[in-house]
């Protein structure tokens, strides 16, 4: 979708696919860096020789690496906001890892805005249905219901909490 909108226009997007991210590379080097950062060195992620003997046929990305890519996918997908703001993660209502992400593959995110509502002065909570696709894959890597909050100057949208 991209473009630029006002925070007050976000509720008009409920029910719409607000964007599809660019494809993002998942090379073995990214998987290795994630393993280092999280101390998760399970061989299916970091040992190509042993991982080749598994049903995966090679190393795969950590599920949480895929989750961690959502912020970057989201940033290059949704419309930019005219007003000063910042976003924070609020959490997930559901995450399902549907298919492994092989090292060397590419993934992208699809974002549908399920809900947008004020959660107090200067706080808009958005709920997204997210699907992470694997290029050429039959099944998505991940499906999730993701909650984010945009913090902004309450004078922009001086309505009471709904």
| 73 belongs to a structural domain | yes
Question: Beta strand pairing status for 123-134 and 105-118?
Answer: antiparallel
Domain of residue 126, residue span: 4-24+62-156
- For 39-74, letters b (16+ CB in 10 Å) and e give eeeeebbbeeeebeeeeeebbbbbbebbbebbeebb
Q: Is the residue at 38 inside a domain? A: no
In a domain, 151, yes or no: yes
With respect to residue 32, please indicate whether it lies within any of the assigned structural domains: no
The mean pLDDT of the chain is: 94
Distance CA(97)–CA(132), nearest Å, equals 10
Q: Answer yes or no: is 116 within a domain.
A: yes
Count of the separate structural domains present in the chain: 1
Residue 34 maps to a domain: no
Quick check: 160 pLDDT over 70?
no
Residue 10 has pLDDT above 80, yes or no: yes
- The DSSP code for 143 is E
- Domain CATH for 114: 3.10.129.10
Q: What is the pLDDT of residues 13-69, one digit of tens each?
A: 999 999 999 999 999 999 999 999 999 999 999 999 999 999 999 999 999 999 999
Kindly state whether residue 55 falls inside one of the protein's structural domains.
no
């Amino acid at each position: 979708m991209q473009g630029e909108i006002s925070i007050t226009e976000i509720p008009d997007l409920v029910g719409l696919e607000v964007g599809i991210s660019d494809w993002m590379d998942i090379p073995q080097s990214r998987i290795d860096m994630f393993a280092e950062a999280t101390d998760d060195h399970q061989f299916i992620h970091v040992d190509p020789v042993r991982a080749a003997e598994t049903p995966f046929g090679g190393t795969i990305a950590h599920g949480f690496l895929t989750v961690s890519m959502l912020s970057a996918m989201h940033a290059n997908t949704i419309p930019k906001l005219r007003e000063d703001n910042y976003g924070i993660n609020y959490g997930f209502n559901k995450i399902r890892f549907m298919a492994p992400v092989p090292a060397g593959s590419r993934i992208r995110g699809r974002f549908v805005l399920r809900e947008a509502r004020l959660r107090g002065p200067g706080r808009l909570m958005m709920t997204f249905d997210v699907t992470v696709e694997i290029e050429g894959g039959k099944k998505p890597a991940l499906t999730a219901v993701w909650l984010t909050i945009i913090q902004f100057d309450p004078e922009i949208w001086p309505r009471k909490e709904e």
